[in-house]
Amino acid sequence: MQRQGEVKVAVLGVSGYAGMELARLLLHHPRLRKSPPLLLGRGEQPVPLTELHPHLAGNNGSASLAIEPFSWDLLKQRGVDLLFLATPHEQSRALAPEALARGLRVIDLSGAWRVENHAHRAVYNFHDNDEARAAEVQACSVYGLPELHRERIRGAKLVANPGCYSTSVILALKPLVAAGWVDVERGIVCDAKSGVSGAGKAPSPTTHFMYAADNLSAYAVFGHRHLGEMLEQLGVGEEHLIFTPHLLPIPRGILSTVYLTLREKKTAADVEACFRSFYTGSPLVRVFGSGGAAATAAGAPGHAHRASTLPQIQYSVRTNYCDVGFRLAQDGRRCIVVSCLDNLLKGAAGQAVENMNLMCGWEEAEGLV
């Protein structure tokens, strides 16, 4: 959807990690310099933004901004066009239908509208007061992975921002799966590791420093919420994909190692060409080649790495890129794909801004590179 003139955006849920990063990106966005985002919370009184997030001081007049109490009337008074929901799944499930009814466009960072299959959605245990209306909203929701659904996102009213693990795994697998090269009957194994911020800001025993430090642990085995997204977006059955997440003792970043078998023998050049072709025009995916430096699939040179280097968290953390690389065994069939991203940026807030850019008719990577 092409938009003329200024766009007014609002963010509900600035207190969390993803909401904080989203506020930072929007305050820096070149298209929003004349109209900074309306920042909203669930409190009863305004709270200065820099009191909650002192590191955001000096960002497009942020010292004068407050996190204001949320109300639909306030959104109308301020002329908001687009609402970001950085809220818990249950809240987003309730708020999005109301926002759409009021003529707002929505980008939801939660899992409320990401999956279509009821069985996949059951893990969230939603209880919709109006099931018919929820079904209508679900039907109009667009899965917000630009590399897969760019054109649909442009005209969307509701974009369901993907999960961080899902983004990492889907971008690692989709080119090969879409080409029909993967022998899914042999199974796909996704071994993923995330920094502690992926669990959110609310403290828990497993994210406590004394638990996470000097430790590495698997969790949500055969039961992670992001699995349904992966299955639906890749078009594979649950029996074909095993996904195991792990908690890394670092603040942020995801590294996913994906093990698969190709149907037919391929060369490394074949596999690299498949990735580069699929991600042509995707400015925020960097393909690490089998015999050269990493580059964005869109063609612009990325950071130069030795040919032997695979993606690492240190290369993508605090950037909006997803880095993808691979190794092919000598038999030409066994393949390992590695993808890395920042779970709070390309895995959350950065991708939300990418979707905003598309919905507003701006350059996809504007304000992100």
Which amino acids are annotated catalytic?
164
Which among 102, 97, 89, 81 is positioned nearest to 138, based on CA atoms? 97
CA distance 160 to 359: 13
Please, are residues 53 and 47 in contact by the beta-carbon 8 Å criterion?
no
Q: What angle do CA 14, 249, 57 make, to 5 degrees?
A: 30
Give the number of other Cβ atoms within 10 Å of residue 265's Cβ.
10
CA 104 to chain centre: 21
Write a three-state SS string for the chain: CCCCCCCCEEEECCCCHHHHHHHHHHHHCHHHCCCCCEEEECCCCCEEHHHHCHHHCCCCCHHHCEEEECCHHHHHHCCCCEEEECCCHHHHHHHHHHHHHCCCEEEECCCCCCCCCHHHHHHHCCCCCCHHHHHHHHHHEEECCHHHHHHHHHCCCEEECCCHHHHHHHHHHHHHHHCCCECHHHCEEEEEEECHHHHCCCCCCCCCHHHHCCCCEECCCCCCCCHHHHHHHHCCCHHHEEEEEEECCCCCCEEEEEEEEECCCCCHHHHHHHHHHHCCCCCCEEECCCCCCCEECCCCECCCCCCCCCCCHHHHCCCCCEEEEEEECCCCCEEEEEEEECCCHHHHHHHHHHHHHHHCCCCCCCCCC
Structure tokens at 86: 């950085």
The tokens describing 172, both together, are 């690692």
